Structure 1
């Protein structure tokens, strides 16, 4: 246990509590290492039959990773961000392959690194306070931590919408997009721990997972209305089903029907995102459909390191986190000016390269 991560057991349940509420439980490198170590210990502990991931405080499960440390590691020449991402991706992969059921309580802000933890879970619980996003294009990055895998498995128009805009969604849309399994009202959260402890955790992994889902199902809270993205299904398919980022922006600009205001607002949002990052994301999610989980993490590592060293990330962090002028100078500044050859260079390294630092991840 450390101040930033608390590990406990309750019955047969191992509990990981992210404990940095003052920074919305953002992941530090020390937290990543500690969680991975504890998960490995619990995996071989027969008294622990399932694991619960949760955040402390009232506002967030986990708002992401420590992006300021990436900025510092770039400027001091240490390249400490390489170790951060390697260990983070290993932790996320560990969760995807975990031998025991994992429950993620996405109560509050769940973004970036928090999504990496939650989307790997067996049961992803959304609440009335869930606010979910992969907002990386806003800082010149790409949706990593497994986003290549879990976003590319969604309907393409939804994946491109969430990946390019970085817009946040709530519980209804999380269920609609397949990014949550159940919606539990905050009034039922006190019953959740007791419910989990009452489960018969004997049997094989599949049996335990089925019992978990059946036990939590009675706590599910019906949605009050049709999810916003479901109501926008037609324009989302029309615009974000286009064959390129340029075509998407042109399609949105040409919307003149009942969804003209939505299209205009969405186009304005894209106007604040890194044009280079958006082009990278489009290709990332297109290629991700053909890659297994381990290759998705290897691709993300290639893209993220180049985004730091050759892309827009350092400028994005400067503008939004360091100087806070909120005026990033993207290179290039317009979607139309992104060089296809530059985008292709980000994907030049083969994910199957035996020298890749994540080459040992299993498929």
Structure 2
């Protein structure tokens, strides 16, 4: 018998916490017509991954993997957000208090995502709302990733003094290198249609049509499960809007070249802005430059290096690298100041360790990528290659 805060039990309906109603739980679980429906249920906290939520999600996913009566899994979020990644507030408060338990949350988050990656059943991710970091990474294994007109994707990283987390070096590493660097360095928000165009999502459905999926799920034809699941969520009348990102892909390819340092990237963008006469493109240049100049100079360099290294790594190697980078970002980097400014105090005026890119100390940067020496074995050593 497992514990999730209080006594828990496992039956055919999955792990459940005794003495609590499902609506009280951070993760809601039910089965409809042999399909498990997992709902992230912390809408007031943007469905961020708290320690309790990570533990419960892991139990539910493990249960789905061994229960032969469950043929497929649907993951969705309650409210206007799918999942805003790891709970930054919890990490910040623990780090500021000198409580090393935050390390366990990070390790458990990566084990959760890896466990989901290994699930040998059809998975549908309904990303009807905002997703960032680990929220995106959690469901990149899904066989059907659905977005709507409400969907927004963002990789925060250097904007909050953080590193690529939740598998960002892995899922962004599948994109063209220039697009990977653009999304990772700028923390640009992309739409659901953009996500389909980038390969981070598979299908579009209107938010209103998604609300009636459970009725259609009861009529599911199990003979062709993957196609039937698609028909449950996606109607021929649902046509994805045009991607807003496509118009700027030539500029992204030109100014986010893999061989450019962050300084060279900004220099290229500045030159492009000075030559550009088109109003929409000038606005894109300005927004891109403003983002890069506002982000942590140290973490911009860490992000760029991590993304480029991650393209050559296995999934497990990516997760171990990200875990190490997260530790260093919290202990010796800009994480605490970035979260203070953008999440805790909300003044949006972080005082970065290095004020400019020119000030970044190469020895500090190198320390982020030094070999793991904290303890043996590595906390994620058990993840298979």
Distance 2:222 2:263 in 1: 51
Check the 8 A contact 1:73/1:80 in 2, yes or no.
Answer: yes
Distance 1:142 1:334 in 2: 18
The residue aligned with 2:359 is 337
In the comparison of the two structures, how many residue pairs are matched?
356
Match of 1:45 among 53, 58, 67: 67
Shift in Å at residue 128 of structure 1? 1.1
Shift in Å at residue 180 of structure 1? 0.5
1:235 counterpart = 2:256: no
Shift in Å at residue 214 of structure 1? 6.5
The residue aligned with 1:310 is 332
Check the 8 A contact 2:157/2:303 in 1, yes or no.
Answer: no
Distance 2:122 2:219 in 1: 15
Distance 2:237 2:113 in 1: 26
Check the 8 A contact 1:32/1:88 in 2, yes or no.
Answer: yes
Shift in Å at residue 42 of structure 1? 1.7
Shift in Å at residue 253 of structure 1? 1.0
The residue aligned with 1:3 is 25
1:32 counterpart = 2:48: no
1:104 alignment partner, SS class:
strand
Deviations 1:34-77 (A, max 9, x none): 110111112111111111111112x1111222111111211222
The residue aligned with 1:127 is 148
Check the 8 A contact 1:318/1:324 in 2, yes or no.
Answer: yes
The residue aligned with 1:301 is 323
TM-score normalised over the length of structure 1:
0.92
The residue aligned with 1:245 is 262
Deviations 1:311-339 (A, max 9, x none): 00011111122222211111111122223
Distance 1:69 1:345 in 2: 25
The residue aligned with 1:83 is 104
Shift in Å at residue 223 of structure 1? 2.7
Distance 1:211 1:294 in 2: 32
Unaligned runs of 5+ in 1: none
1:4-23 matches, within 5 Å, as 4-23=26-45
The residue aligned with 2:240 is 223
Check the 8 A contact 1:182/1:220 in 2, yes or no.
Answer: no
Distance 2:370 2:48 in 1: 31
Deviations 1:3-57 (A, max 9, x none): 2211111111111111111122222110000110111112111111111111112
Check the 8 A contact 2:213/2:232 in 1, yes or no.
Answer: no
Check the 8 A contact 1:136/1:142 in 2, yes or no.
Answer: yes
Distance 1:214 1:53 in 2: 16
Shift in Å at residue 229 of structure 1? 1.2
1:282 alignment partner, SS class:
helix
Deviations 1:276-333 (A, max 9, x none): 1111111111011110111110000000000000100011111122222211111111
2:190 alignment partner, SS class:
coil
2:383 alignment partner, SS class:
coil
The residue aligned with 2:19 is none
The residue aligned with 2:92 is 71
1:105 counterpart = 2:126: yes
Shift in Å at residue 130 of structure 1? 0.4
Shift in Å at residue 357 of structure 1? 1.0
Match of 1:192 among 198, 202, 213: 213
Match of 1:178 among 191, 194, 199: 199
